[in-house]
Structures are given as C-alpha cells and as structure tokens.
Amino acid sequence: MVLKVGFIVNPIAGMGGRVGLKGTDDVLNEAVSLGAKPLAPDKAEETLRDFLSNYSTKKDVICWFTCSGSMGFDELKNVGIKNVEMVYSPSCVNTSSDDTKKACEIFLEKKVDLILFCGGDGTIRDIFCVVDKKVPVLGIPAGVKMHSGVFGVNTRAVAKMLHEFVNHSLTVGDVDVMDLDEELYRRGEWKVKLFGVAKGIVEPTYVQVGKTVFESISDDAVRDELAEHIIDEIKKYDDFLFLMGSGGTIDYIARKIGLDNTLLGIDAVYNKKMIDKDINEEGILNLLEEYPKVKVILSPIGAQGFILGRGNLQLSPAVIRKVGLDNIIVVSTPSKLVSIPFIRVDTGDKDLDHLFAEKEFMMVVIGYRLSRVVRIQTNNF
Amino acid sequence: MLQGGKSIMNRNAAAFLKEEYEDLVNKNLDWKLRILESGSTPHALVDGKKILMLCSNNYLNLSNHPRLIKGAIDAAKKYGAGSGSVRAIAGTMKIHIDVEKKLAKFKHTEAALLYQTGFAANAGLIPQLAGEGDVIISDELNHGSIIDGVRLSKADRAVYKHKDMGELDKVLKDSDKKYRRILIITDGVFSMDGDIAPVDKIVKLANEYGAMTYVDDAHGEGVIGPDGRGIGAHFGIEGKIDVEMGTFSKAFGVVGGLVAGSKDLYNFAYNKSRTWLLSGSHPPAVSGAQLAAIEVLETEPQHVKNLWDNTKYFKKELKSMGFNTGESETPITPVMVGDSGKAKELSNSLFDEGIFALPIVFPMVARDKARIRVMMNAGLTKKDLDFALEKFEKLGKKLEII
C-alpha cells in the first residue's frame, strides 16, 4: 500500500534562536537583520537522507505531497525523491503561517495519511489549527521552542519513526501541542501553555497474549484501564475533592467517567460530579478552603514529561502545598513513558521543587491498579 | 432484542472462532505446532526431520532417564493410571506425599507442595497471598504466568526496572506507608536472557520492610545451586525465601508445579489455592517419575555437571566466533542477532541444517535485541555441540552476524 505523506518545511523556523531572540514569531525581520540563517531546510534534508539511506527499501512506498520552493519541494528534490506532487505555492517569497495553514487544508483534501513537517512549536500550532485530530503529525525538530509531543528527539529519530510508521510497528496516539507565549518570554516571563491535543506517532503498548505472542493494544484501551483505576480511587476516597489536570490522557479518563471535562483547564470533581470547570488559581484556592481533602490527577504534558509548570500554571505552588505531595496521582500510558524517562517538575518555587527533588521518584499509574517507579527531575530547561 | 446486540435469530454463536483464528494467521501470530515423532531427546524426530534439539527445557535430559521411566511404570502398575479425584476429596495418594517430603528434604525447606502445573501454582497461590489493601511488587520482566496470577489478585501492582534494587527499594519505601501486606515476586532465572535475579539482595530488602518474597524458579530448579537444588541453594539462603515456586516440567523432566517453604505456607497454600482445590491430582505415573527424578539428582551429580560443562563450552566457542551471548549466567544461551527478520531467517536456516532452536523477537525483547535462544542440555555430546557450532558459524557469516 502506498502511504500518502504531506511534507511541509517552515523555512524560517529556528532563525530567532541563533541570534538570541527566543523564537521567531513576529520578529523575522529583526532576526534576519541580526544575521540569522535558515536552518530548517538543512534539518529536513538531513532527515530525508537518513530515511532514504537507512530505512527505505522500496522507493515507491511513499507518495509525497508538498509545497513549492523551500517549503518542501526543494528539499525533496535535493535528496533525490521523485514521487512528489506539488500541491501548493505561496503567493510571495516570504512565507507566513497562512501558507502553512493553506497547505494543510490541501493536504486534508488529498487525504494524506501523515503530515511530516519541519519546524518548531509555532509551526505545529499553525498545522494543528487546520488539521486538529484528523491526520497524525510528525515533527522534525528545527524550531527554537519544541515543547510539543509531536517531535522526534532529533532528525535520526524522526527518520526511524517514519520508517516504523510506514511498516506499521508504530501506531497513532495523542500528543500534546504546547506553546510558549513568545511575547511574554522575550519580556522574561516563562509561560508554556497547552495549546491542544493532536494525533501523533507513538510506541504501542504490548500485552502478552500467549507464551511468546504479544499484541499491541490501542492507546484508548490503555486509557480505559487508567479510567477504571481513577473510578476506583474516586469511590475509595469519597470524601475527597479531585482536581482533574489538563491534557489528552486526563481528558479521556474524565469523559470515560462521564464528566464534561475541560481539555486545557483544571476541573474539580466531588462525589463523581463536576462542581467547577476551567478554574483559575484563585478559584482553586477558594475550593481548597471549602474542601480540605484533595487529590490532584496529573499526566506528563508535552515532549519533556512535565507534570507541573507547563500548561497548568493554575496549579500554583500555593495550591500544590495545600494539596500535599502525597495527594498527587500521576497517570500515563506506558507508551508515553517509553519516550519520557523522567517526570519533570518546575513549579517556579525553589523550595517546593526541592520537596519534589527529595522524593526522587514517583509511582506513576500505567494501568488498572498497576504502577511503576519513575524518577523526578526538577532542574529547569 | 438487546440494545447494541443482534437479534437472537441473526446471531452466529461460533463464527468468531474461525474469524479470530484467521486474523491470527493473517498477522502471522498463530502457533505453528512442530510435531515430535520421537521422545524429547537431544536427537529427536520433528516434523519428519532428524534434528538436534536446542530448544527444549529438558535441561538434564531426565525425561528419558531409565530410572524415571521405571518409576512411572512401577507407580502405574501399583496405583493405576489415574488418581480418581482432586487432592482435597479423595485424590491424595501416599505417593504424592512421598514426593512432597522428598522434595522438601532436597530443597532444605520445612515443606513442599505439589501443584498440577507451574502455572496452576502461580495462578492459584499468588492471588491468595495478596488481596485488597496489599501490593504486589514485580520485576518488569517476570514470566507471563506470574502476571496472570497477579491479575487474579485484588492487590495493587507495582513494577520495578529489571533487577534494579534501587528502584525496588523506592517502591518498598513508597508501599511501606500505603499498604497492609507487601509481596515481592521475581523470576529466579529470567527465561529470555538467562540472567539470575539478585535474590539475596531482594530477601535482605524484603526483611527491612517486612515484605514477603516469592521466587519463580522454573528455570533454576535442577540447574543452579549445588546439585541443582535451585535458587535458594545458589545464594546459600535456603529457607529464607518465603515462597520458592518451581516446576517438574523443565530440568526434572516430568510435569507439575511445586511450592517450597514453611509448614505454615504448605497448610495455607493447599487450603486456599483454587487451582489446587479444583483440578485433579497427578496420575501415579507422574508422581513415580517425579520421585525418581529427585533420586537421580541426589545420586547422579554427573547430569548437572554435564549441563554446565556443555554450557561453558558452547558459550566460549560462540564467543570466540564473534557471537554475542548477552547477559546469560545459565544454560539459557541467547545468540544475539539484532534484527527480528534476521533472527527468524537464522532459525529457519538452522532447522534446514538439522538444528532446532527458536527465535525470540520483538516485542518479547527490545526491537534491536532479537536473538536465537539456545537451551543447553546435559545429554548433548561434544560432537553434537561441535556440529551445532559449525552450523552457527556458517550461517552467522552468511547472514553477516559475525
């Protein structure tokens, strides 16, 4: 079967980083005047070359759809890929996020099986606006900020993932799209938001079905187990308030329980009923006055495995101190833990981070009544 | 009409049997059974082909030992073909008790209990040892039958990284304040890599936290420790492991599961294990062979010695050819290949050359750690081993593994 891949390069991704601009959103001209050179095209070609030389056996397994010039066509041509259909040309030489979005609309019309892109968090944010969860995305890391879970760790890893996706040994699962507010960041504030949950390429979870026979089970089946576990916990601690964290895993669990959850926000559940939604820090602190016994359910967010400090700033140091470290329940699909060797915490409060550091590890729930040890890292990035 | 279902008239009750089987066949996940047309001997007849057997668990070649065969025949003649009942009702024969007493003596434990199979021991006993409010802590590479036993329990489960005592300590520390009882379960010898769990350290940690220890010694029984007395003897901690679970199906050359430990464990286990209570007891011939197997181990040390001599020779020669034999400390000898497709190809080519050895591929082992798993056997001669080594060298070079 021929796989249809939409390929898009954000040629300006990462240009701000080399000249100390912490991102390229809205400041391209400044970056260029400071001497920034494009690097995304090289990263894209590096990935394609690695894929061709190490993995590609049959040349025709992929049918490529792409954009003109350095938005994809040049890179494919330079590495010698022939099976290419150019489906979009930007109207002016300086490409913009509009071009990314327009190209993705055409990719959807062409019914691609995967969108391979080269860029950073800004690029995936643009792609996600159009693609949502309709098609899985895989990112070649070339941006300044890459907090999202769609990126391979380097070009080599992306080439391998692409190969394994083509060969069906990797599967499709939820990945977080993150973004740092660049305006705030350039003013010295650090605020990474969870932007949404896209479809990405993930390692499947395997279960043993015979002595030497394993079957991969879907991400949803694993999350069903996690939901069963959380239902039991809610029943067991029936006098506790449960704060449901943000992200795809917890959203799935909450919906399985029958709660109308907020994907990107913090919700409060008491006695199996949603009592407040998308609560800010002040709202949470008020709730804690009323409900002294609280458990927080968190799942690692983004590419680096943060449970606190990325995408859930409402769970401030004051909130966490009141809740208590022992009342934090961390859940994760085993496949996510394959790519995240550590749980990371960055509360912005050194003393609180230190309390996590002292714990050294956390028990992370990976199935129904099943948990495993995962180390905690608290140093910042 | 049921909501979401089909009407009774339209339902094909048995269609799924064929569909699901065909699905397995299409995915190449079905078992292709090889038929033995001889006994499980080093030179066996498999699917009409004479092969050198390098994948049985019959480590000591006892399944063909004359004393075991005689033991089986004599017991069948004396007590008949079947036992007539489950152990609990009217199926406990003196010969069952004889085996248990002899086994306890052999393993230097207070008592030992027979189960119908090793799986029956794990699936029957583990859920009784830990329940609601308890935790079972398990090595991530434990065997499937342990995992099933654990699933039958209402206890929480926590997994630690393979043989990582630092992680085990952390789980114990975390569990200490949360749970009533703590049960640590590990394989003694891990069946994929042939490495040995640090059971001495596990027992020490368990004692610090008041946790119970359960070791599945299926691949260690009859193989490791002085005279093949198993994992407790290997570490010189006989009687200190709370539950030493094992099997008669591998090195002992017969069939059946066993649990060795205290008298209290014995009484508790047979009164509570549902698998034990609800399945028929071993036929006398099985028990007769089991008795003889223990006697052979006690009086003929050459079998364990041969097994280890063969293991050392085979591994040494493989290494000198440039093969990687992994982390094995036991007669389980992984011949690392790397790529799964290549491992399957090597196994098939070996079979064509008259050697029966199975590939172990992803996801049983990591993607880049596919291997052929060779199981050494005490009955193989030096000539047999050299024959096998020659084929490994030839095919290893052909497939660019060495």
A187: CATH: 3.40.50
The pLDDT assigned to A381 comes to 38
Query: A281 with A160, same domain?
Result: no
Mean pLDDT of B1-20: 74
**pLDDT range class, residue B5, cuts 50, 70, 90:** low
Rounded CA-CA distance B168/B160 in Å is 6
Query: A162 with A231, same domain?
Result: no
Q: Considering only alpha carbons, which residue of chain B is nearest residue A214? A: B363
User: Worst-scoring range by mean pLDDT, A304-308, B46-50, B227-231, B395-399?
Assistant: A304-308
Taking an 8 Å cut-off on Cβ atoms, the answer to whether A370 and B160 are in contact is no
Q: Considering only alpha carbons, which residue of chain B is nearest residue A371? A: B158
Interface check for A216 against chain B (CB to CB < 8 A): the answer is: yes
Q: Where are the domains of chain B?
A: 34-63+302-398, 66-299
Query: A170 with A241, same domain?
Result: no
Q: SS3 letters for B68-89?
A: HHHHHHHHHHHHCCCCCCEHHH
Mutation target to probe the A interface, by most A beta carbons within 10 A, among B28, B30, B34, B156 is: B156
The pLDDT assigned to A335 comes to 81
**pLDDT range class, residue A57, cuts 50, 70, 90:** low
Taking an 8 Å cut-off on Cβ atoms, the answer to whether A373 and B144 are in contact is no
- Asked if B41 and B343 touch (Cβ cutoff 8 Å), the reply is no
Alpha carbon of A368: minimum distance to chain B alpha carbons (Å): 8
Count of Cβ atoms closer than 10 Å to residue A265 Cβ: 18
Which is higher by pLDDT, B330 or A24? B330
Rounded CA-CA distance B287/B68 in Å is 10
Number of domains in chain A: 2
Taking an 8 Å cut-off on Cβ atoms, the answer to whether A372 and B140 are in contact is yes
- The shortest CB-CB distance from A213 to any of B29, B147, B157 is to B29
Average model confidence (pLDDT) across chain B: 93
Mean pLDDT of A61-86: 93
Mean pLDDT of B266-288: 97
User: Worst-scoring range by mean pLDDT, A210-219, A345-354, B19-28?
Assistant: A210-219
- The shortest CB-CB distance from B364 to any of A214, A360, A370 is to A214
pLDDT in tens, A274-286: 999 999 999 999 9
- The shortest CB-CB distance from B144 to any of A211, A370, A373 is to A211
Residue B3 has pLDDT above 70, yes or no: no
Rounded CA-CA distance B174/A376 in Å is 14
The pLDDT assigned to B333 comes to 96
Torsion angle, CA of B84/B86/B88/B90, rounded to 10 degrees?
-10
Classify domain B66-299 at the CATH topology level. Answer: Aspartate Aminotransferase; domain 2 (3.40.640)
Query: A65 with A120, same domain?
Result: yes
Q: Considering only alpha carbons, which residue of chain A is nearest residue B175? A: A363
Query: A17 with A144, same domain?
Result: yes
| Residue A212 in domain | no
Q: In what order do the strands lie in the sheet with A137-141?
A: A84-88, A62-67, A3-9, A114-119, A137-141, A192-202, A171-180
Query: A194 with A223, same domain?
Result: no
pTM for the model: 0.83
pLDDT in tens, B235-261: 999 999 999 999 999 999 999 999 999
| Residue A208 in domain | no
Domain boundary among A142, A176, A202: A202
A209 interaction partners in chain B (CB closer than 8 Å): 29
Alpha carbon of B153: minimum distance to chain A alpha carbons (Å): 10
The pLDDT assigned to A159 comes to 92
Taking an 8 Å cut-off on Cβ atoms, the answer to whether B31 and A213 are in contact is yes
Rounded CA-CA distance A323/A133 in Å is 34
Tokens of A278: 């998308």
Rounded percentage of chain A residues whose pLDDT exceeds 90 = 50
State the architecture of B34-63+302-398 in CATH terms. Answer: Alpha-Beta Complex (3.90)
| Residue A289 in domain | yes
**pLDDT range class, residue B58, cuts 50, 70, 90:** very high
* Number of cross-chain residue pairs from A and B with Cβ atoms under 8 Å apart: 48
The pLDDT assigned to B1 comes to 45
- The shortest CB-CB distance from A370 to any of B157, B360, B367 is to B157
pLDDT in tens, B185-207: 999 999 889 999 999 999 999 99
Q: Which helix (H) or strand (E) holds B260?
A: strand B257-261
The pLDDT assigned to A211 comes to 56
The whole domain housing A92 covers 3-202
Rounded CA-CA distance B285/B255 in Å is 11
| Residue A209 in domain | no
pLDDT in tens, B131-170: 999 999 999 888 766 777 777 888 999 999 999 999 999 9
The pLDDT assigned to A380 comes to 47
Rounded CA-CA distance B246/A284 in Å is 54
Interface check for A293 against chain B (CB to CB < 8 A): the answer is: no
Query: A155 with A239, same domain?
Result: no
| Residue A210 in domain | no
Which is higher by pLDDT, A107 or A143? A107
| Residue A142 in domain | yes
Taking an 8 Å cut-off on Cβ atoms, the answer to whether B158 and A371 are in contact is yes
| Residue A211 in domain | no
| Residue A207 in domain | no
pLDDT in tens, B210-240: 999 999 999 999 999 999 999 999 999 999 9
Residue A328 has pLDDT above 80, yes or no: yes
Domain boundary among A157, A172, A202: A202
